[in-house]
Amino acid sequence: MSEAEQSVPEYYVDAVQISTGVYGVALTFGLNPPHPTGPHGTVPKDLCVLRMSLEHAKVLAMLLRAQLKEYERENGEIPLPPSLYTSLGIAREDWGF
């Protein structure tokens, strides 16, 4: 492993919080506990905050969508539970189905 590869942190995340303002976007990536307890849900452990301009965030969203759509063309739809769409306030059709 090269010195550059060793100095770049790598994370697995399963939680994200997104905030936007007039000057940019902040993405806080986190990890949920492996065995959540209690009726009120759990708070993920924050691992990193990524900040970028609104323009950069828009380009990133377009590139990520293109990559995922290409993956689905080659491998089939990535399934998501209907309750997820409802909880996020988005429609399955927003993805292009």
Provide the domain limits for residue 83.
Answer: 54-97
CB atoms near residue 25 (< 10 Å): 19
Question: What's residue 10's pLDDT?
Answer: 94
Question: What's residue 40's pLDDT?
Answer: 73
Report the distance separating Cα 53 and Cα 88, nearest Å.
23
14 and 26 part of one domain: yes
Question: What's residue 11's pLDDT?
Answer: 95
Starting from the edge strand earliest in sequence, which strands make up the sheet with 15-20, in order? Answer: 15-20, 25-31, 45-52
Closest CA to 49 of 15, 23, 22, 21: 15
Question: What's residue 1's pLDDT?
Answer: 64
**Which residues have a Cβ under 8 Å from the Cβ of 16 and sit 6 or more positions away?**
27, 28, 29, 30
Question: What's residue 50's pLDDT?
Answer: 97
63 and 36 part of one domain: no
Q: Answer yes or no: are the C-beta atoms of 72 and 95 closer than 8 Å.
A: no
Count the domains in the chain: 2
Segments of the chain with pLDDT less than 50:
none
47 and 65 part of one domain: no
Question: What's residue 97's pLDDT?
Answer: 63
Over the Cα atoms of the chain, what is R_g?
Answer: 17
65 and 79 part of one domain: yes
Question: What's residue 45's pLDDT?
Answer: 94
Q: Whole-model pTM?
A: 0.79
Place of tokens 């965030």: 57
Question: What's residue 72's pLDDT?
Answer: 95
